[in-house]
Chains A and B, each alone.
Chain A
Amino acid sequence: MSRNRIAWFAATALVLACVVAVLARALLPTGPAATDFTLTDQDGRPYTLSAHRGHAIALFFGYTHCPDVCPTTLAALARAKRKLGPAGETFDVVFVTVDPARDDPATLKRYVHLFDPAFIGVTGTEAQLDPVYAAYHIYHEIATGSKSANGYIVAHSSTVQFISPGGRLRGTGDWSDSPDDLAVLMKQALS
């Protein structure tokens, strides 16, 4: 076989491999579309999910009066984001409150920025929040049974949902995941 022919075969094989890769990318499931919403961010401005296409997003639901599970998750997300290096800088972590009565934008801002100055905290009216909880399967219930100086407790789903830059749900984790595992989920959402 002449050297030319080998080069020709190699080039054809490379082109075919690229075509297969592109087709596979287009045909493989990419996850369902992430339901859009508009809430209010930590600066009191509207936050619309779909306005952030081009950024991958980790969506976590919690509340600032939650001292254990919520800070554990936010700290792990901040570490996971750092593990991604420069790619992590375009990864938005969005903390949606399950306690709008106590979490106003100013409180959310102080809270999320303790973990990462780029973190976003969003709230809204119950009428605005309820469809978001439903769309992302976030159970939440105010539990008043436990007599505590902290007031009521909000039992809530602890899932973290990962959305691709194209607005597709690409993965879920939860509060107990290590920063390493959350970083894997972040990479998946970016791929």
Chain B
Amino acid sequence: MTALALALIVVSNAWSRPAVGTGVVYLHIANRGAASDRLDAARTPVARTVEIHQSMAGMGSMNGMAMSGVMTMQRVPSLTIPAHGSVTLAPGGYHLMAIGLRRDLHPNERFPVRLHFARAGWASVTVTVRPI
């Protein structure tokens, strides 16, 4: 059951940015199954904890001047991967936030991340810190 379920979720293109303290993971998740699934947790040995976040553009105002392009983030508890669909975690949108990095992340280095899906269980992926 687990092995079959795992094959239905395919994680690819995992990459990251150089970081100090708080890192990021971007990746592509494809769901080949006939039922939707949900990414609800992730872990990596390089960080204390991993959360799912979403960046958003909003509005701000200062000294009587309104401005767009104010970037903020919010934590999301889980991410639904529709049946026969896919979700891309990418700059400016959904991303995994690796919090409490045990070391700085340098360009070109690699580290493992495990993702947990409500139906498919755990999936592992190797993340590459993209060179500048």
Residues of A participating in the B interface, judged by any CB pair closer than 8 Å:
64-69, 71-72, 75, 78-79, 107, 110-111, 114-116, 133-134, 137, 139, 141, 143, 145-150, 153, 155-159, 174-176
- Of the residues A65, A114, A174, contact of B106 by C-beta under 8 Å: A114
Interface stretch of the complex, out of B6-14, B31-39, B62-70, B119-127: B62-70
Please tell me if the beta carbons of B17 and A146 are within 8 angstroms of each other in the complex.
Answer: no
B-side contacts of A71, CB under 8 Å: 17-19, 24
Return 26 A-B CB contacts under 8 Å, by A number.
Answer: A67-B17, A68-B97, A72-B17, A72-B91, A72-B92, A75-B130, A75-B132, A78-B132, A114-B18, A114-B104, A114-B106, A115-B132, A116-B132, A134-B63, A137-B65, A137-B67, A139-B70, A148-B97, A150-B97, A155-B58, A155-B70, A155-B72, A156-B71, A156-B72, A157-B70, A157-B71
- Give residues 81-132 of B contacting A (CB, 8 Å): 91-92, 95, 97-100, 104-107, 130, 132
Please tell me if the beta carbons of B69 and A146 are within 8 angstroms of each other in the complex.
Answer: no
- Of the residues B18, B19, B24, B67, contact of A157 by C-beta under 8 Å: B67
Name which residue of chain A comes closest to B100, CB basis. A149
Name which residue of chain A comes closest to B62, CB basis. A139
A-side contacts of B44, CB under 8 Å: none
A-contact bits for B47-76, CB 8 A (1 contact / 0 none) = 011010101001011110101011111110
Please tell me if the beta carbons of A156 and B70 are within 8 angstroms of each other in the complex.
Answer: yes
Question: Which of the four size classes fits the interface of chain B?
Answer: 35 or more
Please tell me if the beta carbons of A146 and B48 are within 8 angstroms of each other in the complex.
Answer: no
List of 9 A-B pairs having minimum Cβ-Cβ separation, nearest first: A139-B60, A114-B18, A155-B72, A71-B17, A67-B24, A111-B20, A72-B91, A158-B71, A78-B132
- CA of A107 to CA of B19, assembled, Å: 11
Please tell me if the beta carbons of B73 and A146 are within 8 angstroms of each other in the complex.
Answer: yes
A-side contacts of B95, CB under 8 Å: 67-68
B-side contacts of A159, CB under 8 Å: 69
Please tell me if the beta carbons of B62 and A149 are within 8 angstroms of each other in the complex.
Answer: no
The verdict on A153 contacting B91 (CB below 8 Å), with A64-B22, A134-B63 known, is no
- CA of A158 to CA of B104, assembled, Å: 24
- Of the residues B21, B60, B72, B100, contact of A153 by C-beta under 8 Å: B72
